[in-house]
Amino acid sequence: MPITPTQFIWMDGAMVPWDQANVHVLTHGLHYGYGVFEGVRAYQTPKGNAIFRLRDHTQRLLDSCKILMIDVPFTLDQLMEAQLEVVRVNDVPEGCYIRPLVYLGYGEMGLNPLPVPVRVAVACWPWGAYLGDHSKGARMKISSWQRHDPNAMPTQAKGTGMYLNSGLAKMEAIRAGYDEAIMLGPDGRISEASAENLFVVKNGVIRTPASSAAGALAGITQDSVIEIARDLGYEVRFETLVRTDLYLADEVFLTGTAAELAPVASVDDRVVGDGTPGPITTALQSIYLQAVKGALPAYEKWLTYCS
């Protein structure tokens, strides 16, 4: 999806005009993929733009840095304020996607990450629903690319280089005529999609693979949707899933900051339910989209208002 430029990007503590937010070609992170990032969204609410689960996303960014032993020269509060400021200074009245990035910069080469200067950037731009129209379901394919083994790549870190794996799976799915890939873990069980967590609904029970078992990222949208589902009285279980659980599910949906809550229409050409978004998916999606836009007081705790 093409990027719609905004006015400013926060780089290492200062606002830089969009077109000048550049790095040297010998930036370490470009060569070895050593960096971490977050995907965050700000939504338009009745009280102006608000960032959804800002503290949780920023904490996960710092957790990713801890896992990769990247020493970030900013505190949690400073990084939260940088994201709020980026939304304030840019012309994004209808909300935006926010991309905080911590990366190893210019000045040292060779594999040892330890002496390399750490750089931080936060950009934002308007970005619609990542998997397209919410009312239609995604056509999914189980990927021939396996999710990382947690002892080969730390799956709880959003490390930049780790997304080669997601990119390969996504590209394979698109080239084969599908919308998105589902990845199996090293044990052959369902892990997650290329950048979303996955849920199945069967006989009214909602199940999703646990990140610890499946090598999936512990999703913040996944966590939000679980809380909403439990508040609605649904039973939600973390459970190991195999591919036939997807083929025989009543409903399947994906969650992620970019994709929000996206229904799945088919998996490996087996139609899920009747191929249209099911009632539980639709109910959860509707509440999630109201919650992020500040329409539900019970979930306002997840919002940080920009002004």
Q: Could you list the active site residues?
A: 158
What span, in angstroms and rounded, lies between the C-alpha atoms of 142 and 252? Answer: 14
Q: Taking CB under 6 A as the rule, does residue 90 contact ligand PMP?
A: no
CB closer to ligand PMP, 107 vs 167: 167
Cβ-Cβ contacts under 8 Å for 34 (sequence gap 6 or more) = 28, 68, 70, 103, 104, 113, 116, 159, 160, 161
DSSP 130: T
Alpha carbon dihedral 233, 238, 240, 246, in 10-degree steps, equals 40
| Amino acid code (one letter) for 24 | H
What is the CB-side half-sphere exposure of residue 104 using CA atoms within 13 A? 27
The label of the residue with tokens 């394979």 reads: 172
CB closer to ligand PMP, 28 vs 148: 148
Q: Judged by CB under 6 A, which of 90, 221, 281, 285 binds ligand PMP?
A: 221
Q: Taking CB under 6 A as the rule, does residue 54 contact ligand PMP?
A: no
Minimum CB–partner distance for residue 64 and ligand PMP (Å): 10
CB closer to ligand PMP, 27 vs 208: 208
Q: Taking CB under 6 A as the rule, does residue 196 contact ligand PMP?
A: yes
Q: Taking CB under 6 A as the rule, does residue 256 contact ligand PMP?
A: yes
Q: Taking CB under 6 A as the rule, does residue 217 contact ligand PMP?
A: yes
Q: Taking CB under 6 A as the rule, does residue 257 contact ligand PMP?
A: yes
What span, in angstroms and rounded, lies between the C-alpha atoms of 6 and 186? Answer: 40
Q: Taking CB under 6 A as the rule, does residue 220 contact ligand PMP?
A: yes
Q: With CB under 6 A, what is the number of residues at the site for ligand PMP?
A: 15
CB closer to ligand PMP, 22 vs 286: 286
Interface segment toward ligand PMP; rule CB under 6 A; list 66-74, 118-126, 171-179, 213-221: 213-221
3-state helix, strand, coil in the chain (%, to 5): 30, 30, 40
Q: Taking CB under 6 A as the rule, does residue 83 contact ligand PMP?
A: no
Q: Judged by CB under 6 A, which of 61, 195, 249, 272 binds ligand PMP?
A: 195
Minimum CB–partner distance for residue 17 and ligand PMP (Å): 28
CB closer to ligand PMP, 166 vs 281: 166
Where are any strands of DSSP class E within the chain?
8-11, 14-17, 35-37, 40-45, 48-52, 96-104, 118-125, 138-142, 180-184, 190-193, 197-202, 205-208, 235-238, 251-256, 260-267, 270-271, 303-305
In the complex, the residues that contact ligand PMP under the rule CB under 6 A are: 39, 166, 192, 195-197, 216-217, 219-222, 255-257
